[in-house]
Amino acid sequence: MTLASGQKKDKLDRLSELAAVRDDEQGVSLWRDAFRRLRRNPAAIVGAAILLLFVLVAIVGPFLVPYDPAAQIGVQQGVVRSGAGIIPGPSSDHWLGYDHQGRDEFSRLIAGSRQTLIVGVVSTVIGLTVGVLLGGLSGAAAGLGGRWGRWVDNVLMRIVDMLLSVPSLLLAVSFAAILGPSPATVMIAVGAVSVPVFARLLRGSMIAQANRDYVLAATSLGVGRGRIAISHVVPNSLAPVIVQATLTLATAIIEVAALSFLGLGSQVLGQPEWGLMLAEAQRYLGVRPALAIYPAVAIIITAFGFTLLGEAMREALDPKLRK
């Protein structure tokens, strides 16, 4: 109790200021707040690092590869004779050895990352776009549209349900049958499979948001329904969709690999892609199982990165976990 009274007053004022919000800083929006929490999450950092590495490799990797990923060096030099079961393993020149056609495995793995990334991103974007359009329309109709809106929503959702009830592989195979096997087929098929997920997610989230009081408040301010949907309901419903998109990227890469494995993907000779590499390696599992392990591990690590980031984003964006 030796503090002079003036000092005490100062201290009190300082402390009550600390408790209240200070007035010299800007407000923190929810997105920024979420990003701040994301940065503090180790899982997010690890996930982001993996993905950064993956994207970097996909962009510059193909220019830096030691050998042409399509050149059958091993066959030309006569070291690889896969028919006779001779596929040499890692050496100082060829870090991961040759593949069954005598191409440099390391170069193929690096070069394949680009194709894998493109296919994963494009198919997710296809699914996201169509899903968000369907779900957004449906959600807006159900949440704000009254009687007619509920009818529109019902029709749209039954279409989505039909899409959901077809097994994804069957869908993809049918697409391939119609369009012929190509990377585009794979991307459309994988995208189509994720459409119902995005549509249902956005719709549910929008209906929940449309029942919140702030929508009623905007209505009572005299704001029109369309504007309410675009400026209030959709922005508040997007967070789960963004999280889902990150997670879908992971599954898209795996599904693309699966479809390529079935021979529905890239038919351009020699173009490396992880799924295709995995598919080709199966015939030589007895000779050199490592040929299957390399692309498999690459796929798993990438998917893991997306999943980590997605989960961390889910946590960061969850309003209930905010302090």
Partner 1 sequence: MALLDVEDLSVTFRRRGQRTVHAVDGVSFSVDAGEVVALVGESGCGKSVTSLALMGLLPRRGAQVGGSANFDGTELLALDQRSMRDIRGKDVAMIFQDPLSSLNPVIPIGIQVTEVLVRHRGMSGDAARKEAANLLDRVGIPDPRRRLKEYPHQLSGGMRQRALIAIAVACQPRLLIADEPTTALDVTIQAQILELLKELVRDSNTALIMITHDLGVVAGMCDMINVLYAGRVVESARRKELFAAPRHPYTVGLLRSIPRLDVGRGEKLTPIRGSVRDVLPWSEGCAFAPRCDRRIDASIGEPPPMVPTHTGHSYRCVNPVPVEEKA
Partner 2 sequence: MSQPLVEVRDLKVHFPITTGVIFDRVVGHVKAVDGVDLAVPRGKTYGLVGESGCGKSTLGRAILRLTEPTAGSVRFDGVELTKLPPAKMRGMRRRMQMIFQDPMSSLDPRQNVESILVEGLQAHGIGADRNERRKIISKTLDAVGLPKWALSRYPHEFSGGQRQRIGIARALVLGPELIVADEPVSALDVSIQAQVINLLDELQDELGLTYLVIAHDLAVVRHISDVVGVMYLGALVEEAPSDRLYREPLHPYTRALMSAVPVPDPEVEDRRERILLAGDLPSPANPPPGCRFHTRCPWAQPTRCADERPVLRDVGGTRVACHWAEQINSGELRRHEVRVELIRPEGEGETPGVVSAPSEPGSYV
Q: Is 31 in the site for partner 2 (CB under 8 A)?
A: yes
The partner in contact with residue 219, picked from partner 1, partner 2, none with C-beta cut-offs of 5 to 8 angstroms by kind, is: partner 2
The residue (of 41 and 266) whose beta carbon lies closer to partner 2 is: 41
Encoded one letter per residue, x for contact with partner 1 by CB under 8 A and - for no contact, window 24-63 reads ----------------x-----------------------
d(CA 151, CA 145): 9
Q: Is 252 in contact with 194 (CB distance < 8 Å)? A: yes
**CB burial of residue 61 (10 Å; 0-12, 13-18, 19+):** middle
Encoded one letter per residue, x for contact with partner 1 by CB under 8 A and - for no contact, window 251-290 reads ----------------------------------------
The residue (of 19 and 84) whose beta carbon lies closer to partner 2 is: 19
Of 36-44, 61-69, 106-114, 240-248, the segment contacting partner 2 by CB under 8 A is 240-248
Q: Is 11 in the site for partner 1 (CB under 8 A)?
A: yes
Compute, in degrees rounded to 10, the torsion defined by CA atoms 107, 110, 113, 115.
-30
Q: Is 16 in the site for partner 1 (CB under 8 A)?
A: yes
The partner in contact with residue 113, picked from partner 1, partner 2, none with C-beta cut-offs of 5 to 8 angstroms by kind, is: none
**CA angle 300–306–309, rounded 5-degree value:** 135
The partner in contact with residue 29, picked from partner 2, partner 1, none with C-beta cut-offs of 5 to 8 angstroms by kind, is: partner 2
The residue (of 5 and 165) whose beta carbon lies closer to partner 1 is: 5
Q: Is 85 in contact with 91 (CB distance < 8 Å)? A: no
Q: Is 27 in the site for partner 2 (CB under 8 A)?
A: yes
Q: Is 97 in contact with 88 (CB distance < 8 Å)? A: yes
Minimum Å gap between C-beta 27 and partner 2 is 3
Minimum Å gap between C-beta 19 and partner 1 is 5
The residue (of 63 and 148) whose beta carbon lies closer to partner 2 is: 148
The partner in contact with residue 167, picked from partner 2, partner 1, none with C-beta cut-offs of 5 to 8 angstroms by kind, is: none
The residue (of 9 and 227) whose beta carbon lies closer to partner 2 is: 227
Chain contacts with partner 2 (rule: CB under 8 A) = 21, 23, 26-31, 33, 150-151, 154-155, 158, 201, 204-205, 207-209, 212-214, 216-224, 227, 232, 235-236, 239-240, 243-244, 247, 314, 317-320, 322
State the residues that interact with partner 1 by CB under 8 A: 1, 3, 5, 8, 11-12, 15-16, 19-20, 40, 323
